[in-house]
Amino acid sequence: MNAPFDADRHWRLHERVALRPEPFGALAYHYDNRRLTFLRSPDLVALVESLSDQPSARAAFDAAGLAPGRWPAFEKALGSLAAGDFLVMEDAA
């Protein structure tokens, strides 16, 4: 079981994941586990791409200008990406 997504940690896209822009958002492909998944909105794509530049996922929500009411939905989406190993946590160092 994966731990629940921790939005206070620093996350980034796995280095073996490629994003392909699509009208609905993006298609993400993981070259290691060969999973394919959908990023179902352009906002989610922009958020995922900004994660590595922000100290935490929550900071990325804020920086992306997402209304706080939408944060739980994005947290859930990031959680499922993390569960599929599409996102990895940066070392806490």
- Any contact of residue 22 with other proteins (CB under 8 A)? yes
Q: Which two tokens mark 82?
A: 């993390």
Give yes or no for residue 55 binding other proteins (CB under 8 A). no
Stretch that binds other proteins, among 18-26, 50-58, 59-67, 79-87 (CB under 8 A): 18-26
CA distances from 87 to 13, 28, 46 (A): 5, 11, 14
Residue 16 lies near other proteins (rule: CB under 8 A): no
Distances 58 to 36, 41, 54, 75 between C-alpha atoms, Å: 25, 18, 9, 9
Which residues of the shown chain bind other proteins in the complex (CB under 8 A)? 18, 20-24, 27, 29, 31, 34, 36, 38, 40
